[in-house]
Structure 1
Amino acid sequence: MNIAVLSGKGGTGKTTVSTNLALALKSNYIDCDVEEPNGFLFLKPEIKETQKVMVEYPSIDDNKCISCGACVTACQFNALAKVKEDIILFQKLCHGCGACEIVCKYGAITYKKREIGKIEKGTTRNISCSRGVLNISEPMAVPVIRQLHAKLTGEINLIDCPPGTSCNVVNSLKYADAAILVTEPSEFGLHDLKMAVELVKMYDIPFGIVINKDDGKANIIKKYCKEEKINLMGVIPYRRETAILYSKGEILYDDSKHKDLFDKLSKEVKEVLSWN
């Protein structure tokens, strides 16, 4: 079973929930937040395997190219441009679709590969951990996320998604059987939570909500869950000791109070989601 953990916005505690819940469920942990993969800072796995993520890009043979511009017209991503009599390639805009090579009548275009990131795998506390890491200055994270998903194994995979509701999140949700939406009791939290809810509903993914930084009082998130009949699976209290542990890069699950909290949450997850 693949469980995606996502949030409508950054800073809600998505990675905190993901890493600690992975230990409570004894599941594999997969960090798809490839632009800021922070999960390993807490789980500290021993990395045993590293794989390069490669993408294709067009290479133009100047001896064959007559600068007709057919490739520029065919490119839907503005990765090619005709400047006077030259064809200019913007390498990082290329999606590797192959259209330019198909329309070139002179055989001037072939494809090469370049590295945009890597996949790292390791183990810690008897669980398997994987993460994607996008190279600095690379604009497209989706190829890294796709390669990370291609390696999913095991009975339970906890997928730590990127924040927001962008195409990176959509690709992280591609193989999800269920979802946990992490939010905070604020107007911004509610606003972005609603977008995340619409996203998982669009793909008909069973889901529940976890509130982080909860003060134990009535708030707008609890009201929203009640009105929309959404399962509120649990809350993480707003405590000073929680912030201290987190700021030190320590796992909350090692603390007895927090262990009980995440063990309870793991049971609730099994009950709320279609567990099989």
Structure 2
Amino acid sequence: MNIAVLSGKGGTGKTTVSTNIALALKANYVDCDVEEPNGFLFLKPHIEKTEQVKVEYPFIDDEKCISCGLCVEVCEFNALAKVKGDIILFQKLCHGCGACKIICKQNALSYRHRETGKIEKGYAKNIKCLRGVLNVGEPMAVPVIKQLLENVPEGVNIIDCSPGTSCNVVNTIKYAKGAMLVTEPTEFGFHDLKMAVELVKIFNIPFGIIINKDNGEDNIIRKYCKEENIPLIGSIVYSKNIAEIYSKGDILYNNAKYKKLFDHMAESVLEVLKWN
């Protein structure tokens, strides 16, 4: 079962929850925040396997091409342009849809491959750990995310999503059967949480909310959960000690006090997501 951990905005503690919940559930950890994958900084897995992620891009045979411009007209992603009688290709804009090759009457187009990122796999604290890493300068993270999620291990997978509600997140939660939404009790956190809730509802999967930096009061997030009848999986107190542990790159689950907290949260996850 794939359980997505997402947040409406960055900095809410999504990776903190993902890594510690994975340990509490003895589940596999999958970092899909491929532009900024930082879960391995805390879990520190021994990486045993690395594989490349490659995408297709069109190659133009200048001897066959007559610069008719049909490929330019059919490309919906502006990866091709006609400039002074020449066809110019912008590789990083190409989505590999194949339309240009189909429409070319001169058979001047073929496809080649280029690397856009990598996937790393390993083990830490007796759990499997996987992450995708997008190459610097690459604009499209989705191919890395798709290849990563199409090869996840069997069993329970905690999927650490990208922050926000972008296409990266959409293409991640398509693989999920349940979701945990991490937020903080601030106006910004509340605003973006509501967008994340609407996104999860579109996929019709069970979900619950986790409050980070919780002050213990009847704050706006708790009131929202009551009004909308959304399960509250748990909360993490606003603590200087937690910030110190985090800043050192240590895992909270190694601390007896916080181990108990995440073990209890893991039990709530099983109940909220109706999974056994």
Normalising to structure 2: TM-score of the pair? 0.99
What are the equivalent positions in structure 2 for 1:221-236 lying under 5 Å apart?
221-236=221-236
In 1, the alpha carbon distance for the partners of 2:154 and 2:239 equals 34
Distance in 1 (alpha carbons) for counterparts of 2:88 and 2:66: 13
1:202 aligns with 202
Q: What's the % identity of the aligned pairs?
A: 70
User: Residue 122 in 1 paired to residue 122 in 2?
Assistant: yes
Match of 2:138 in 1: 138
1:146-161 counterparts in 2 under 5 A?
146-161=146-161
Which residue is 1:21 aligned to? 21
Residue 153 of structure 1, CA deviation: 1.8
Structure 1 residue 128: Cα displacement: 0.1
* Distance in 2 separating the partners of 1:131 and 1:153: 12
4+ runs of 1 displaced by more than 3 Å? Answer: none
Corresponding residue for 2:164?
164
- Measure how far apart 1:239 and its partner are: 0.6
Alpha-carbon distance in 1 for matches of 2:71, 2:131: 36
Aligned residue type for 1:113: H
| SS of structure 2 residue aligned to 1:67 | coil
**Counterparts of 2:62 and 2:260, CA distance in 1:** 66
Question: What's the CA shift string for 1:94-125, capped at 9, x where partnerless?
Answer: 00000000000001100000000000000011
**Match for residue 32 of structure 1?**
32
**Corresponding position of 1:216:** 216
1:82 corresponds in structure 2 to 82
Match of 2:98 in 1: 98
Residue 14 of structure 1 and its aligned partner are, at CA, apart by 0.1
Q: Match for 1:10: what amino acid?
A: G
Q: Does residue 191 in structure 1 map to residue 176 in structure 2?
A: no
Letter in 1 for 2:212: N
Instruction: Report the alpha carbon displacement of residue 217 of structure 1 after superposing the two structures with TM.
Output: 1.0
Which whole-Å CA distance do the structure 2 matches of 1:213 and 1:154 have between them? 33
**Structure 2 equivalent of residue 63 of structure 1:** 63
The 1-side partners of 2:103 and 2:177 are apart by: 40
Aligned amino acid, residue 134 of structure 2? L
The whole-number CA distance in structure 2 between the counterparts of 1:49 and 1:174 is: 25
C-alpha separation in 2, matches of 1:245 and 1:261:
15
* Cα distance between partner residues in 2 of 1:132 and 1:152: 12
Number of the residue aligned with 1:248: 248
Following superposition, the deviation at residue 154 of structure 1 comes to 2.0
CA–CA distance in structure 2, aligned partners of residues 178 and 76 of structure 1: 33
Question: Shift of the alpha carbon at 1:61?
Answer: 0.7
CA drift at 1:173: 0.5
Question: What is the number of residues matched between the two proteins?
Answer: 276
The one-letter amino acid of 1:101's match is K
Q: 1 CA distance for matches of 2:190 and 2:146?
A: 29
What's the secondary structure of 1:137's corresponding residue?
coil
CA-based RMSD of the aligned residues comes to: 0.5
For 2:54, the equivalent position in structure 1 comes to 54
Q: Deviations over 1:222-246 (max 9, x none)?
A: 0111110100110000011000000
CA distance in 2, matches of 1:183, 1:41: 21
Q: After TM superposition, give the deviation of residue 155 of structure 1 in Å.
A: 1.4
Give the AA of the match of 1:239. S
* Residues 58-83 of structure 1: CA deviation (Å, up to 9, x unaligned): 00011110000000001000000000
